[in-house]
Chain A
Amino acid sequence: MATLRTLITADPIDTAGEIAAIQAGRSDIGAVVSFTGLCRDEDGRLDALELEHYPGMAEKEIGRIAAQAAERWEVSALTVIHRHGRIRPGETIVVVVAASTHRHAAFEAAEFVMDFLKTHAPFWKKEHARDGTPTGWVAAKASDDDAKARWKD
Chain B
Amino acid sequence: MKLRYFAWVRERIGTAEETVEPPDSVATVGDLLGWLQGRGETYAFALAEPDAIRVALDQDHAERDAPIAGVREVALFPPMTGG
Q: Are B8 and A57 in contact (CB under 8 A)?
A: no
B 1-45 binary contact with A (CB < 8 Å = 1; else 0)? 000101110000000000000000000000000000000000000
Q: Knowing A56-B59, A57-B56, A137-B8, say if A94 contacts B80 (CB, 8 Å).
A: no
- From 44 to 83 in chain A, residues with beta carbon under 8 angstroms from any chain B beta carbon are 51-54, 56-57, 60-61, 82
Interface size on A, residues (CB 8 A): 27
Asked if B79 is an interface residue, CB under 8 A from chain A, the answer is yes
- Partner-contacting stretch, out of A12-20, A23-31, A114-122: A114-122
Query: Measured between alpha carbons, how far is A124 from B59 in the docked complex, in Å?
Result: 16
Find out whether the CB atom of A137 lies under 8 angstroms from the CB atom of B82: no
Provide the residues of chain A in CB contact with B64, threshold 8 Å.
Answer: none
> How many residues of chain B are within 8 Å of chain A by beta carbon?
16
Residues in B whose Cβ lies below 8 Å from that of A82:
82-83
Question: Can you give 17 A-B contacts (C-beta < 8 A)?
Answer: A37-B83, A51-B82, A52-B7, A60-B59, A82-B83, A93-B83, A114-B83, A117-B82, A117-B83, A122-B6, A122-B56, A124-B7, A125-B81, A126-B7, A137-B81, A138-B81, A139-B79
Which residues of A come within 8 Å of B, CB atoms? 37, 51-54, 56-57, 60-61, 82, 93-94, 114, 117-126, 137-140
B interface list, Cβ under 8 A from A: 4, 6-8, 56, 59-61, 75, 77-83
